[in-house]
Amino acid sequence: MSEINAQLELKAQVTETFDEDEMPGAVDSAVTYSDFGWKDRLNADSTPTAEMVHVVEGTGNASLDLTALARAFGGTLDATDKKLRMILCNNLSTTTDLTIADGGANPYSINGTNDKVVKPGARYMEFFDDALADVSGTAKAIDITAGVAEDWELMMIFGETPP
């Protein structure tokens, strides 16, 4: 099996420069906001673990079976008995929402019964830690709904439940 080393980061750094009118006595004084964010590294030895990654570029609607994810270079990935740890979605459309939902007869629930809507041009990333169910025969389907010719990218990281 391949080895996964994932560095996850959610970060924003903003510098705000004030003029004399906004901050009397301080000429062109700058404040940098950089303490907001989160960073973690996941691999087979971390808690939680990261043992599988699936990346897909799609167009239009798709139903993903987490027990049989087609790989771009051939073969399939089976995430049975693993938990979804992280999902990252880029909606490449400029006009159409993309929806991530529990799928079909054997839904894998990411957001409870609430669909996740990713606006045109937006990105969505969520780190689930150990909060989601194991992928199984009865919890395995995620649906992506996008416009007919709208492009998107999706990355998912899976890991085992710690003992």
pLDDT at 162: 66
Per-residue pLDDT band for 163 (boundaries 50, 70, 90) equals low
- For the stretch 57-116, pLDDT in tens is 999 999 999 999 999 888 999 999 999 999 999 999 999 999 999 998 899 999 887 899
Question: Of 5-9, 17-21, 116-120, which has the strongest mean pLDDT?
Answer: 116-120
Per-residue pLDDT band for 19 (boundaries 50, 70, 90) equals confident
Question: How much of the chain is in helix, strand and coil states, percent to nearest 5?
Answer: 0, 55, 45
52-59 and 14-18 beta bridge pairing: unpaired
pLDDT at 55: 95
pLDDT at 33: 85
Give strand ranges (E) for 19-160. 29-33, 37-43, 52-59, 62-65, 69-70, 76-77, 82-91, 98-102, 116-118, 123-127, 141-145, 151-160
Closest CA to 8 of 128, 119, 132: 128
Cα separations (Å) of 122 from 69, 90, 94, 97, 140?
24, 6, 9, 9, 25
CA 83 to chain CA mean position, Å: 13
The residues near 153 (Cβ < 8 Å, ≥ 6 apart) are 55, 56, 57, 58, 89, 90, 92
Rounded CA separation 73/70 (Å): 9
pLDDT at 26: 64
pLDDT at 35: 80
User: Is omega for the bond preceding 24 within 30 degrees of 0, making it cis?
Assistant: no
pTM: 0.86
Domains of the chain: 6-40 (no CATH), 41-160 (2.60.120.10)
- For the stretch 111-147, pLDDT in tens is 887 899 999 999 999 999 888 999 999 999 999 999 8
Rounded CA separation 115/123 (Å): 15
pLDDT at 101: 95
Rounded mean pLDDT of 6-34? 79
